[in-house]
C-alpha cells in the first residue's frame, strides 16, 4: 500500500525561507518521495537561492527554461529561428571554462578503499567538507531550477533516473535537448531512492556577465557512495552537466558491480546496399580518431554518439541503448564537405545551442566551417578582431577549438528509428579506433572475443582541446574510457571478458586506423574510405566475406575491398600504394 508522506514537514526549512510558491510546492508533493524532498531541502538550505522553480514534463514548464536562459543572458538569440549562442567563462587562452577540468574533477573515496591510479581522487570526508563549503550561499540572488530526467528510453530495464538542481538556465535548457524528461516517471518510483542526483551552481557571477567570477573555486566531485555529483563555479557543460560524463562514472561503478556494461560508445546502424537489413555497431574512439565521422557515415543511421548502456538479452545478443537523445558535439571542422548532415542540421531552422563560437551579424562561425573567417565579431572574449591577444600575448582564435553545438538527434536526417526503443538494439560488432601512421591496417578483426577485449584495452591516443592542459600528449586509453573507470582496471576488463563469453552471439570486434601514411607523409586513405571498412565489418558479421587470418587478427582480401569501393564510393582502390 502506498503511504502518503508529509512533504511540508520534510520541506520545512525551505518553506520557512519563503522561496517556493504553492504551485511549485504542489509539484514536489506530487512526487510523494521522501528521498527526493530531503535532497531538495538540504541543498536549497545550503545554496540559499532567492527562488525555487520545479520543472515538470509540461511544454509550458520547458518553454519557461529556454525563455529564462535568454532573459538571464546565458543564451542570446541568433538570426535563425531556434538558434542561440552561449559563452562560457574566459580569462586567457590557458585560464578558461571551455573544456573538461580533469585536475579539479575528483572521485570521493572513503579512507582505506581502493583508489584508481589513472583518475583524480580525494578523501571523501575532506572533499565533501571542501565542496559543501564552496556551495554555501552560492545561489544567493538567483533562481534554483529542479529538473527530472531519464538516462535511456522510458520504461526500459536499461534506464536510470536523474534529479538535477542548478542555478544555470543554460544547463537546464541543454538538458532538455540532450535527455528525456521524466517528472512523471519519478512519480512512479513509489518512494524509492533508485536514482542519481546532481547539484550544480555557477557560484558568484562576474560583474555584468552570466559566468562564474572565480574559476579557481571550480570543483567537480563525484560521490560514488551516494550516487551523486556536486559541481560548482563553472558553466561549461562538460563540467556542469552531471548527467553526461559525470553520470558515466556513477553508472560504471554500478555496472561493474553487477552484470552489465557502461561504455563510451557511439551506436551506429549499418545498412549495406541490396541486403535489406540493418546491423548495429558500437564504437569507442579517442578524440581526433574518427569517432564522429564514423557515427555519421552517409547512408547509415545513428542511435547515439557518446555513451551506451549494454545488457545481456534473451535473444543471445548484447543489447544497447543511448542514454541520451541529443548531441553535445565538437563543432570544429564541421563543414558541408566532411559532415554534410550535421552542417545542414545546425545551419537550418530548429532548436540549436551554439557555445563559444564567433557571432557575426547574427550568424555563428567556427574553426574549419569551410567559410572565410570574418575580420571581426563577438566571441567568448567579447569584441573580437583578427590578431586580438589575451593578456599573456597569446592570440585568441575566432572560435574556441572545443566550441560546441547541442541539438536533438531526431533533428538529424539519419536518426535511427530505434532511438527510443526500450529494448535497445542488438550489437553485431564493436569498433575500437586508434591513430597509427605506419603499422596497423585500416581495419583488423579480432581472432575471438577475448582478443577483442585486448584490442580495446590497448588503444592509445593524443590529448586534445576537449580537456584543459597540454595537447598532443600520447596516453593509454583503454576502451577510450580511462578517465571514467572508477573501479580497478583489471576488474573492468575482466567484466568485459565475462560479459562477452556469456553471450550466445558475442559481437565481433574490429580495430580501425584511418591514419596510415606513405613514406612521404601523406595519408593513404580519404575521409570517406572508412565507409568501406565499416561495410566490410558488417559483412563479416553475416559471413559475406572471407578474410586472411594473421597472428594479429583477420584482415581484408583485396578483391572484396575493390568491389566495396567501386559500389559505394565509385572509386578505384589500388592493391598497392
Backbone angles phi, psi at 526, to 5 degrees: -85, 170
> Does the annotation count 289 as an active-site position?
yes
391: number of Cβ within 10 Å: 9
Query: Which helix H or strand E contains 449, and what residues bound it?
Result: helix 449-457
C-alpha grid cell, residue 338: 566532411
Measured in degrees and rounded to the nearest 5, phi and psi for residue 295 equal -65, -20
Spatial contact of 274 and 246, defined as CB atoms under 8 Å apart = no
Q: What are the C-alpha distances in Å from 291 to residues 237, 284, 381, 480? A: 20, 7, 30, 11
Residue with cell 552561449: 86
Residue 355, Ramachandran bin (φ over 0: left; ψ between -120 and 50: alpha; else beta): beta
Rounded to 10 deg, the angle between the 34-47 and 22-29 helix axes is 140
C-alpha closest to that of 52 among 78, 89, 26:
26
DSSP 171-199: HHHHHHHHSEE-HHHHGGGTT---SEEEE
Cβ atoms < 10 Å from Cβ of 549: 11
The grid coordinates listed for 66 are 529556454
d(C-alpha 266, C-alpha 264), whole Å: 7
d(CA 264, CA 479): 7
DSSP state of 242: I
The cell numbers describing 428, all together, are 553485431
For the purposes of burial, counting CB atoms within 10 Å of the CB of 232, is it exposed (0-12), middle (13-18) or buried (19 or more)?
buried
Q: What 3-state DSSP class applies to 85?
A: strand
Q: Say which residues have a Cβ less than 8 Å from residue 304's Cβ, sequence separation at least 6.
A: 265, 266, 267, 295, 321, 322, 323, 324, 409, 419
Catalytic residue selected from 47, 144, 150, 289:
289
**Residue pair 196/163 in contact by the 8 Å Cβ criterion:** yes
Burial of 84: CB neighbours in 10 Å, binned 0-12, 13-18, 19+: buried
Q: Which three three-digit cell numbers place residue 5?
A: 508522506
Cell numbers for 111 = 579512507
Whole-angstrom distance, CA of residue 157 vs CA of residue 166 = 28
Q: What is the CA radius of gyration of the chain?
A: 24
Contacts of 517 (CB under 8 A, 6+ apart): 437, 438, 523, 524
220 φ, ψ (degrees, to nearest 5): -135, 100
DSSP strands (E only) in 440-557: 443-445, 460-462, 474-476, 508-513, 548-550, 553-555
φ, ψ for residue 395, nearest 5 deg: -65, 140
CA 303 from centroid of its chain's CA atoms: 13
- Which residues are identified as catalytic? 289
Amino acid at each position: 500500500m502506498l503511504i502518503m508522506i508529509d512533504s511540508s514537514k520534510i520541506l520545512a526549512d525551505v518553506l520557512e525561507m519563503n522561496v517556493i510558491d504553492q504551485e511549485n510546492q504542489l509539484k514536489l508533493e506530487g512526487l510523494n518521495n521522501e528521498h527526493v524532498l530531503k535532497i531538495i531541502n538540504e541543498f536549497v538550505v545550503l545554496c540559499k537561492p532567492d527562488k525555487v522553480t520545479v520543472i515538470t514534463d509540461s511544454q509550458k514548464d520547458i518553454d519557461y527554461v529556454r525563455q529564462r536562459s535568454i532573459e538571464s543572458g546565458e543564451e542570446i538569440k541568433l538570426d535563425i529561428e531556434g538558434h542561440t549562442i552561449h559563452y562560457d567563462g574566459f580569462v586567457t587562452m590557458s585560464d578558461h571554462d571551455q573544456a573538461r577540468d580533469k585536475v579539479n574533477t575528483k572521485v570521493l573515496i572513503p579512507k582505506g578503499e581502493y583508489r584508481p591510479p589513472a583518475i583524480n581522487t580525494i578523501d571523501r570526508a575532506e572533499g565533501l567538507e571542501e565542496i559543501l563549503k564552496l556551495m554555501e550561499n552560492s545561489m544567493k540572488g538567483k533562481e534554483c531550477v529542479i529538473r527530472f530526467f531519464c538516462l535511456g528510453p522510458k520504461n526500459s530495464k536499461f534506464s536510470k533516473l536523474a534529479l538535477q538542481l542548478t542555478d544555470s538556465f543554460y544547463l537546464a535548457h541543454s538538458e532538455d535537448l540532450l535527455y528525456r524528461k521524466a517528472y512523471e516517471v519519478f512519480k512512479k518510483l513509489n518512494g524509492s531512492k533508485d536514482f542519481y542526483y546532481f547539484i550544480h551552481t555557477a557560484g558568484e557571477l562576474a560583474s555584468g556577465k552570466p559566468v562564474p567570477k572565480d574559476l579557481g573555486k571550480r570543483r567537480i566531485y563525484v560521490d560514488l557512495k551516494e550516487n551523486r555529483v556536486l559541481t560548482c563555479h563553472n558553466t561549461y557543460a562538460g563540467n556542469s552537466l552531471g548527467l553526461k560524463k559525470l553520470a558515466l562514472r556513477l553508472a560504471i561503478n554500478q555496472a561493474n558491480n553487477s552484470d552489465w556494461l557502461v561504455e563510451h560508445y557511439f551506436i551506429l546502424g549499418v545498412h549495406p546496399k541490396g541486403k535489406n537489413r540493418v546491423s548495429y555497431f558500437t564504437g569507442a574512439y579517442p578524440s581526433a580518431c574518427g569517432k564522429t565521422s564514423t557515427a555519421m557515415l552517409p547512408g547509415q543511421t545513428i542511435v547515439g554518439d557518446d555513451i551506451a548502456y549494454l545488457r545481456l538479452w534473451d535473444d543471445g545478443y548484447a543489447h544497447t541503448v543511448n542514454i541520451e537523445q541529443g548531441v553535445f558535439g565538437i563543432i570544429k571542422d564541421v563543414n558541408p564537405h566532411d559532415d554534410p548532415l550535421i552542417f545542414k542540421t545546425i545551419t537550418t531552422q530548429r532548436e540549436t545551442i551554439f557555445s563559444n563560437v564567433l557571432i557575426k551579424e547574427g550568424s555563428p562561425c567556427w574553426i574549419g566551417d569551410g567559410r572565410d573567417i570574418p575580420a571581426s565579431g563577438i566571441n567568448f572574449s567579447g569584441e573580437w578582431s583578427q590578431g586580438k591577444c589575451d593578456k599573456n600575448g597569446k592570440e585568441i582564435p575566432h572560435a574556441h577549438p572545443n566550441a560546441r553545438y547541442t541539438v536533438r538527434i531526431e533533428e538529424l536526417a539519419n536518426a535511427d528509428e530505434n532511438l527510443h526503443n526500450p529494448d535497445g538494439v542488438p550489437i553485431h560488432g564493436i569498433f575500437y579506433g586508434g591513430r597509427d601512421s605506419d603499422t596497423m591496417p585500416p581495419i583488423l578483426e579480432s581472432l575471438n572475443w577475448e582478443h577483442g577485449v585486448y584490442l580495446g584495452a590497448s588503444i592509445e591516443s593524443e590529448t586534445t582541446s576537449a580537456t584543459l592542459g597540454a595537447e598532443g600528449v600520447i596516453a593509454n586509453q583503454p576502451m577510450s574510457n580511462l578517465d571514467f573507470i572508477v573501479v580497478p582496471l583489471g576488474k573492468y576488463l575482466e567484466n568485459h571478458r565475462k560479459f562477452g563469453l556469456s553471450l550466445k552471439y558475442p559481437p565481433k570486434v574490429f580495430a580501425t586506423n584511418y591514419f596510415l601514411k606513405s613514406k612521404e607523409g601523406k595519408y593513404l586513405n580519404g575521409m570517406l574510405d572508412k565507409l568501406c571498412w565499416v561495410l566490410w565489418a558488417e559483412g563479416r558479421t553475416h559471413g559475406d566475406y572471407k578474410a586472411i587470418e594473421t597472428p594479429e587478427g583477420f584482415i581484408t582480401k583485396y578483391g572484396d575491398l575493390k568491389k566495396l569501393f567501386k559500389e559505394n564510393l565509385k572509386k578505384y582502390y589500388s592493391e598497392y600504394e
